[in-house]
Amino acid sequence: MLRRLSRQVAVVLFSMLTVASLVASTPIPPRLTAEVSDTFGLRTNPAGLGSLPHSELRLLYGFQPSEIDPAGDGSTADLHSGGLYGAWKLFDRLTLAGGYDFTERGSAAGAERGLVGVGLDFRIASLGFGWESRDAFGATGDFVRLGAQVRPIRWAALGLAVQDVGEAIGQRTWDLGLAVRPGLDWLTAAAQWSIVEDEALTEDTLQFRLFAEPLDGVLVGAYAADSFDILGLQLAIDFGRTGAEGALYVQDSNAVGVGTVAVRSERVESFFRSTKVIRVELQGDLRPPPRLSLLRQRVELGVYGRVPLELELIARAEDVVGAYVRIHDLDVGWATAKELRGAILRIRESKKTVLCAVSTPGDLEYYVASACSEVLIEPTTLIGLDGLAANLVFFGRALDWLGVEVAVAKRGAYKDAPNSFTEREPDASQVEVIQSLLDVGYRELVTSWPKDVASRRRRRGSDRRGHAHATMALARGFADAVLHLDEIEDYVRGKLGASVDVTTAAALEAPSRSQWGLPPQIALIPVDAVIVRGESQIAPLGFGATIGDETVRKALRRARKDPRVAAVVLRVDSPGGDAIASDRIAREVERCSRVKPVIASFGDIATSGGYYVAAPATRIFAEPTTVTGSIGVFSVRASVYELLDKLGVDVFGFERGRHADLGSIVQPLDEGAQAITERQVDFLYQRFLEVVAEGRGLDVTAVRDVAEGRVWAGVRRSSEGSSTSSVDCGQRSTTPVRGRDR
């Protein structure tokens, strides 16, 4: 009886469940076991819920003319059906779903059902569970369905669904599915064979589906079942976060139509794109704001947030006509500024307009802004172009006066950081390094003015510095327009089109789409703060951050073992830190580089431990103004014994074992403890030299000659075999590092 009804009632066939075992129900568009990846997995294979990449809500409507007799009582009437299905994506791996649908036929008894399901995603596979309660043309019952999908490679997927596991309504049915993409991601062919327990195998339970996406967001498909007695056509059009889909099924002279409207939590690929202008905020240190916590917070991924990626996507996005960049109190170094400037220039090279609103710019802010098509300022804006300066602070005299004794052990003639605690003024080596860094930075700034800044601002190359208020800045070509803050966005629309959508970079996120196989990825691992042992942390209330060796090592191990990761980018913007933590990270970098390329990308600073962790990388890239090197080791010990004595505080110590109080600050410093410290520093320095020599493919003696704790600018360091020159955000030089090209 059930088999006869399922053949007579086209609605059953269009539900895409097992053709032979279920009573009539609300039709849905074609979905088969191996390829379903939306809320209709509730009806076909609940594992498809797991592979759904977003949350979605679907409204369903179906219509069947009155020629057939679904209840078998001799009466005919048009059938109307509808439903609402929803799926909620949680934690990237878990999807919860629910739905309700109904079918009505005049005054006769209809059908309705409620469904719930859960899907779990495991990258290349997913599992699902579904429960259904139905009342179909007088037949009532509940049943369970289970499902699994496997997507091991980009061109093939397998599916299995077990319908009515407990045989609560009919016989248990096994739906076996296969889907293939024959070398084309936009073309899919799928088949499903439903096997009913205790019944002979028959080709009548075979279903086929072929669908293609010739344009982004436009899907056309065909469907066949019951030895090609049932045929169907399908058309779906997506508009980003919304979409519409329709299907028509025919069997002999009978026809059924079904349509659905979808609303999604994320954008999917679509042929219909609105023209956009992306608003980019360049403020502060460009890090994502920390989450408020009274205890501790973990460092979020990104040396300066998502800004470089956003700028790169703006240059590539076809539906983006330009960018509106707002610069305010930019707190980055010159290497990062050059990266940002290079990224803006690439947007302009892609024939797009970049408008910039800048507030009280100095040399660095204006250096970035000058790459834009136009610079916009407010009436109260003051521009100050002064040049570069550096200030060194020394506490030696203050500590002497307080009675704080400081003992330093260092290796490297230029390892001058401890001088701040022992000296009153810089020594010759410090003066040499600071002057050299300022020369490199100023030369980079000055030489860019005649070539780039002046040409883009239509000013004389010699007119590089000075202060200017808004009126003067406009007259001298520093700015292209003076506008109030509320006028700027209207100005942007006037320049780029009144109908453009001025939006944030969230609109540039990759469209959500179900993936087969494991697409190749590049892992980005930041080392962008002081290096410490343990986990990375953000201090309470967001004051400061540290990079922990445990956090970085875990990320490197995952990248090394993950077959999807083709290469690793180690983004270093760190002054160094703990020697042991740095050595641990360097070891993991070396292990990873044996398996896949590890590219070290230097930001504003990569000195001492920051350089240490990058030394074993396959290649190192740096900006001309990157501060790097400082291959050396130092230790600082202090004693407040004399200070406590001045304050009338007496200290009595007890120990078991010689030098048991080596780290105590309340006891006087002694030569024996200093000798131990000197030996430790010797060992660590030799280890540092060996790691650099092995990592860069150089002799230890050669490394020692350029080490000595000296800090270098990236453009000079490259000539020493430590890094390459010529770097800009998104397009880095492929010049191999000297002595190391693998």
Could you give the CA distance from residue 458 to residue 453 in angstroms, rounded to a whole number? Answer: 8
251-260, 306-315, 455-464, 658-667: range with lowest mean pLDDT? 455-464
Mean pLDDT of 212-223: 93
Contact indicator for 521, 536 with CB cutoff of 8 Å: no
Could you give the CA distance from residue 374 to residue 357 in angstroms, rounded to a whole number? Answer: 9
Mean pLDDT of 385-393: 87
Q: Across 611-730, where does the E strand assignment appear?
A: 619-621, 627-629, 633-639, 711-713, 727-728
Q: Is 620 exposed, middle or buried (0-12, 13-18, 19+ CB in 10 A)?
A: buried
Q: Answer with the residue of higher pLDDT: 565 or 742.
A: 565
User: For residue 1, is pLDDT > 80?
Assistant: no
**CATH superfamily of the domain spanning 514-655+662-732:** 2-enoyl-CoA Hydratase; Chain A, domain 1 (3.90.226.10)
User: For residue 728, is pLDDT > 50?
Assistant: no
The whole-number pLDDT of residue 197 equals 85
Domain boundaries of the chain, sorted by first residue: 2-264, 273-386+465-511, 514-655+662-732
> Would you state the structure tokens that stand for residue 608, as one six-digit string?
């001492």
Q: φ, ψ for residue 11 (rounded to 5)?
A: -55, -40
The whole-number pLDDT of residue 216 equals 87
Q: What is the mean pLDDT of the chain?
A: 82
> In sequence order, what are the residues at sequence separation of 6 or more whose Cβ sits closer than 8 angstroms to the Cβ of residue 86?
39, 55, 56, 57, 58, 97, 98, 99
User: For residue 128, is pLDDT > 80?
Assistant: yes
Mean pLDDT of 158-174: 87
User: For residue 738, is pLDDT > 60?
Assistant: no
Among 149, 159, 97, smallest CA distance to 123 is for 149
pLDDT tens profile 567-599: 999 999 999 999 899 999 999 999 999 999 999
CA distances, 554 to each of 123, 549, 558, 559 (Å): 19, 8, 6, 9
Mean pLDDT of 80-90: 93
The whole-number pLDDT of residue 247 equals 96
> In sequence order, what are the residues at sequence separation of 6 or more whose Cβ sits closer than 8 angstroms to the Cβ of residue 441?
334, 388, 625, 713
Residue in the block written with tokens 């739906």 = 175
> In sequence order, what are the residues at sequence separation of 6 or more whose Cβ sits closer than 8 angstroms to the Cβ of residue 510?
none
Mean pLDDT of 178-187: 89
> Would you state the structure tokens that stand for residue 453, as one six-digit string?
């800044």
The whole-number pLDDT of residue 654 equals 86
User: For residue 439, is pLDDT > 80?
Assistant: yes
DSSP symbols for 502-518? EEEGGGGSPPP----S-
The whole-number pLDDT of residue 188 equals 95
244-258, 551-565, 649-663: range with lowest mean pLDDT? 649-663
Q: Answer with the residue of higher pLDDT: 732 or 659.
A: 659
Same fold flag, 2-264 and 273-386+465-511:
no
CATH number, domain 273-386+465-511, options 1.10.620.20, 3.50.50.60, 3.40.140.10, 3.90.226.10: 3.90.226.10
Report, at the CATH architecture level, how domain 2-264 is classified. Answer: Beta Barrel (2.40)
- What confidence tier does 389 reach under pLDDT thresholds 50, 70, 90? confident
In this prediction the pTM is 0.74
- What confidence tier does 710 reach under pLDDT thresholds 50, 70, 90? confident
The three-point CA angle 648-653-654 to 5° equals: 160
CA pseudo-torsion sign 656, 661, 667, 672: positive
The whole-number pLDDT of residue 702 equals 86
CA–chain centroid gap for 254, Å, is 50
236-240, 287-291, 334-338: range with lowest mean pLDDT? 287-291
User: For residue 292, is pLDDT > 60?
Assistant: no
The whole-number pLDDT of residue 293 equals 38
Mean pLDDT of 697-703: 87
Mean pLDDT of 423-434: 90
User: For residue 717, is pLDDT > 60?
Assistant: no
pLDDT tens profile 229-272: 999 999 999 988 899 999 999 988 788 999 999 999 988 888 77
pLDDT tens profile 66-76: 655 545 555 56
- What confidence tier does 671 reach under pLDDT thresholds 50, 70, 90? confident
User: For residue 557, is pLDDT > 90?
Assistant: yes
Mean pLDDT of 3-25: 36
Q: Answer with the residue of higher pLDDT: 163 or 309.
A: 163
In the beta sheet, which residues pair with residue 637? 407
CA distances, 162 to each of 99, 177, 196, 248, 481 (Å): 19, 12, 10, 27, 67
For the chain, report the end-to-end CA distance as a whole number of angstroms.
70
User: For residue 35, is pLDDT > 80?
Assistant: yes
User: For residue 542, is pLDDT > 70?
Assistant: no
User: For residue 9, is pLDDT > 60?
Assistant: no
* Torsion angle, alpha carbons of 589, 591, 592, 595, to 10: 150
The whole-number pLDDT of residue 64 equals 82
Among 382, 356, 385, smallest CA distance to 445 is for 385
User: For residue 640, is pLDDT > 80?
Assistant: yes
SS3 406: strand
Residue in the block written with tokens 């008894």 = 109
User: For residue 98, is pLDDT > 90?
Assistant: yes
Could you give the CA distance from residue 26 to residue 101 in angstroms, rounded to a whole number? Answer: 6
The whole-number pLDDT of residue 55 equals 94
Mean pLDDT of 460-488: 80
